[in-house]
Amino acid sequence: MFDSIEEIEQKFAAHGYITDRHLATTVYLAASLGKPLYLEGEPGVGKTEVAKVLAKSLDTELIRLQCYEGLDTNLALYEWNYLRQMLEIRLQEARGVEKESIGTNIFDQEFLLKRPLLQAIQPHGPQPPVLLIDEIDRSDDEFEAFLLEALSDFQITIPEVGTIKAEQPPFVVLTSNRTREMHDALKRRCLYHWIDYPTLEKELNIILTKVPKIQETLSTQVCKFMELLRQEDFYKRPGIAETIDWANALLSLGIDELDQEVIETTLSCILKYKQDQEKLTDDNLQKALAITKNFKGGPVVSAQGSIN
Amino acid sequence: MQYTYSPGGDNEPFLPPRGEMPAGLQQQSLPFITHIIRFGRKLHYAGIDVNPANLIDLSRSLLYIDIANHKDFYAAALATLIINREDMELFTRLFREYWENREITAEDEQPGAKAKEKSRDDATQAREIRKQLQPAEDDAGEEETEPEQAGYSSHELLAKKDIDRMSELELEEARKIIAELIAILANRKSRRFSPAKSGAQLDFRKIFRRSMPYGEYCLRLAYKTHRLKKNKLILFCDVSGSMERYSQFLIQLICAMGAKISNIEVAVFSTHMTSITPYLNRNDVGDVVAQMSEQVHDWAGGTNIGGCLRELNEREAHQMLSSHTIAVILSDGWDQGDADLMRNEMEQLRRRVNKIIWLNPLLGNENYQPLCKGMQTALPFLDYFLPVHNLESLAEVTKLLRALWH
Tell me the ipTM for this assembly.
0.75
All residues of chain B having their beta carbon less than 8 Å from the beta carbon of residue A179 are: 322
Residue type, B332: D
Substitution target from A1, A3, A29 for chain B, most B beta carbons within 10 A:
A29
Given B51, B191, B318, which is nearest A188 (Cβ)? B51
Measure B271 CA to nearest chain A CA, in Å.
Answer: 23
Which of A267, A263, A120, A133 minimizes the C-alpha distance to A189? A133
Query: Which residues in chain A have Cβ-Cβ distances shorter than 8 Å to B53?
Result: 188
State phi, psi for B52 to the nearest 5 degrees.
-55, -35
In angstroms, rounded to a whole number, what is the distance separating the alpha carbons of residues A159 and B168?
Answer: 57
Closest CA to B7 of B43, B15, B28: B15
Of the partner residues A29, A35, A82, the one whose CB lies closest to the CB of residue B208: A82
Whether A181 and chain B come into contact, CB under 8 Å, resolves to: yes
What is residue B102's predicted lDDT score, i.e. its pLDDT?
52
Q: What whole-number distance in Å separates Cα of residue B33 and Cα of residue B163? A: 62
Q: Which residue in B173, B193, B176, B192 sits closest to B184, CA to CA?
A: B176
Contact flag A26-B205 (C-beta cutoff 8 Å): no
Q: Do A184 and B347 touch (CB under 8 A)?
A: no
pLDDT for B359-400, tens place per residue? 887 777 767 777 777 888 888 888 888 877 777 777 877 887
Task: Encode pLDDT of A47-85 as tens digits.
Answer: 999 999 999 999 999 999 999 888 888 888 888 988 898
Predicted confidence (pLDDT) per residue in B34-73, tens digit: 888 888 888 988 888 888 888 889 988 888 888 788 888 8
CA–CA dist B54, B57 (Å, integer): 5
- Residues with Cβ within 8 Å of residue B83, at least 6 apart in sequence: A38, A184, A187, A188, A190, A192
- Chain A residues close to B352, C-beta within 8 Å: none
Of B28-32, B116-120, B192-196, B238-242, which one has max mean pLDDT? Answer: B192-196
- The verdict on a CB contact (< 8 Å) between A38 and B83 is yes
Residues in chain A with CB shorter than 8 Å from the CB of B348 are 235
B30 Cβ contact list (under 8 Å, min separation 6):
none
Cβ neighbours of residue A246 closer than 8 Å, sequence gap 6 or more = A222, A226, A238, A266, A269, A270
A278 and chain B in contact, CB less than 8 A? no
Instruction: Mean pLDDT check: name the lowest of A86-95, B143-152, B221-230, B241-250.
Output: B143-152
**What is the per-residue pLDDT for B165?**
59
A231 at the B interface (CB within 8 A)? no
For residue B401, pLDDT over 70 is answered with yes
Assess contact for B307 and B336: CB atoms under 8 A: no
Q: How far apart are the C-alpha atoms of B115 and B120, rounded to whole Å?
A: 8
| Contact at CB, B63 and A32, closer than 8 angstroms | yes
Identify the three-state secondary structure at position A164.
strand
Would an 8 Å CB–CB cutoff place B83 in contact with chain A?
yes
CA dihedral sign, ordered A256, A257, A262, A268: positive
Q: Residue range B130-154: average pLDDT?
A: 37
**pLDDT number for residue B227:** 79
Rounded Cα distance, B332 and B387, in Å:
10
Q: Looking at chain B from residue 285 to 324, which residues have their Cβ under 8 Å from any Cβ of chain A? A: 318-319, 322
Q: Pick A86's closest partner by Cβ from B76, B205, B216.
A: B216
What are the CA-CA distances from residue B325 to residues B254, B315, B317, B328, B403 (Å)?
18, 16, 11, 10, 20
The set of long-range contacts for B152-155, using a CB threshold of 8 Å and a minimum separation of 24, is B152/B361, B153/B365, B155/B390
The DSSP output letter for B65 is S
CB of A279 within 8 Å of a chain B CB? The answer is: no
- String of DSSP letters for B269-287: ESSSEEE-GGGTT-S-HHH
Is A235 in contact with B83 (Cβ distance < 8 A)? no
How do residues A210-228 score in pLDDT, each as one tens digit?
888 888 888 999 999 998 8
Alpha helix ranges (H) inside B227-378: 244-257, 285-295, 305-315, 317-320, 339-352, 373-378
Lowest mean pLDDT, pick from A162-166, B1-5, B162-166:
B1-5
Sign of the CA dihedral running A144, A145, A147, A152? positive
Per-residue buried b or exposed e for B247-279, using 16+ beta carbons within 10 Å of the residue's own CB: bbbbbbbbbbbeeebeebbbbbbbbebbbbeeb
A162-165 and A155-158 as β-strands: parallel, antiparallel, unpaired? antiparallel
Residue A281: partners with Cβ closer than 8 Å, 6 or more residues away: none
CA distance B110 to B308: 29
Q: Which of A25, A103, A184 sits opposite B75 (nearest CB)?
A: A25
Does residue B57 sit at the A interface (CB-CB below 8 Å)? yes
Q: For residues B256 and B45, what is the distance between their CA atoms, to the nearest angstrom?
A: 39
- Greatest mean pLDDT among A192-196, A280-284, B274-278, B346-350: A192-196
Chain B residues within an 8 Å CB radius of A90: 216
For a pLDDT cut of 90, what percent of chain A falls above it? 28
Which residues touch B341 (CB under 8 Å, ≥6 apart)?
A: B306, B307, B310
Q: Given an 8 Å threshold on Cβ–Cβ distance, is B344 in contact with A193?
A: no
The SS3 of residue A259 is coil
For residues A200 and A299, what is the distance between their CA atoms, to the nearest angstrom? 9
B192 close contact with A: CB closer than 8 A: yes
pLDDT band at B290 (very low <50, low <70, confident <90, very high): low
Q: Helix or strand or coil: residue B61?
A: helix
Is residue A243 classed as helix, strand or coil in its secondary structure? helix
Task: Tell me the C-alpha distance between A68 and A3, whole Å.
Answer: 36
- Alpha carbon distance B67, B62 (integer Å): 7
Which residue type, as a one-letter code, is found at position A71?
Answer: L
Per-residue pLDDT band at A131 (split at 50, 70, 90): very high
Residue A162 CB-density burial (10 A; 0-12 exposed, 13-18 middle, 19+ buried): exposed
Mutual angle of helices B52-61 and B70-81, in 10-degree steps: 150
pLDDT, residue B351, reads: 82
pLDDT tens digits for range A239-294: 899 999 999 999 999 888 888 888 888 988 898 888 888 888 888 888 888 888 88
pLDDT > 80? residue B254: no
Among A137, A136, A119, which residue's Cα sits nearest to residue A128?
A119
CB A134 within 8 A of CB A173: no
Q: Is the pTM of this model over 0.95?
A: no
